[in-house]
Amino acid sequence: MSGVRLNKYIASSGLCSRRKADELIEQGVVIVNGKIIKELGYLVQPKDKVFVNQKLVRPAKHEYYRFYKPAGYITTCDDEKGRKTIYDLLPENMFGLKPVGRLDKDSTGLLILTNDGELINELTHPSVKVPKVYLVTIEAKVHKHELEQMVNGIEIEQGKIAYADIQVIDMDSRHTEMQITLYQGMNRQIRKMFEYFGYEVKTLKRIQHATITLDGLRRGEFRPIKPIQIRELRNFLNRISNS
Give the residue-averaged pLDDT of 192-212: 97
Please report, for residues 6, 8, 15, the alpha-carbon distance to residue 234 in angstroms, rounded to integers and kept in the order given: 22, 16, 20
* Confidence grade of residue 19 (pLDDT, cut at 50, 70, 90): confident
Q: What domains appear along the chain, each with residue ranges and CATH number? A: 4-57 (3.10.290.10), 64-126+211-241 (3.30.70.580), 132-209 (3.30.70.1560)
- Neighbour count for residue 236 (Cβ, 10 Å): 15
> What does the alpha-carbon distance between residue 61 and residue 39 come to, in Å, rounded to a whole number?
26
Catalogue the long-range contacts made by 162-167 (C-beta closer than 8 Å, 24 or more residues apart). 162/186, 162/189, 162/192, 162/193, 164/189, 164/190, 164/193
Give the residue-averaged pLDDT of 77-87: 82
- Neighbour count for residue 72 (Cβ, 10 Å): 10
pLDDT (0 to 100) of residue 138? 97
Share of the chain above pLDDT 90, in %: 77
Position 1 pLDDT exceeds 60: no
Beta-carbon contacts of 69 under 8 Å, excluding residues fewer than 6 positions away, are 75, 86, 103, 107, 108, 109, 110, 111
* Confidence grade of residue 16 (pLDDT, cut at 50, 70, 90): confident
Residue-wise pLDDT tens digits, 139-194 = 999 999 999 999 999 999 999 999 999 999 999 999 999 999 999 989 999 999 99
> What does the alpha-carbon distance between residue 122 and residue 16 come to, in Å, rounded to a whole number?
12
Give the residue-averaged pLDDT of 1-6: 79
Position 201 pLDDT exceeds 60: yes
pLDDT (0 to 100) of residue 86? 95
Among residues 182, 166, 65, which one has the least CA distance to residue 113? 65
What residues are labeled active site?
104
> What does the alpha-carbon distance between residue 74 and residue 96 come to, in Å, rounded to a whole number?
16
- Amino acid code (one letter) for 199: Y
Residue-wise pLDDT tens digits, 84-140 = 999 999 999 898 899 999 999 999 999 999 988 889 989 998 888 999 999 999 999
Residue-wise pLDDT tens digits, 23-73 = 999 999 999 999 999 998 899 998 999 999 999 998 878 899 999 999 999
For Cα atoms 69, 75, 78, give the angle at the middle one, nearest 5 degrees.
130
**What's the predicted TM-score (pTM) here?**
0.82
pLDDT (0 to 100) of residue 60? 78
pLDDT (0 to 100) of residue 121? 86
3-state SS class at 5? strand
DSSP 100-117: SS---TT-EEEEEEES-H
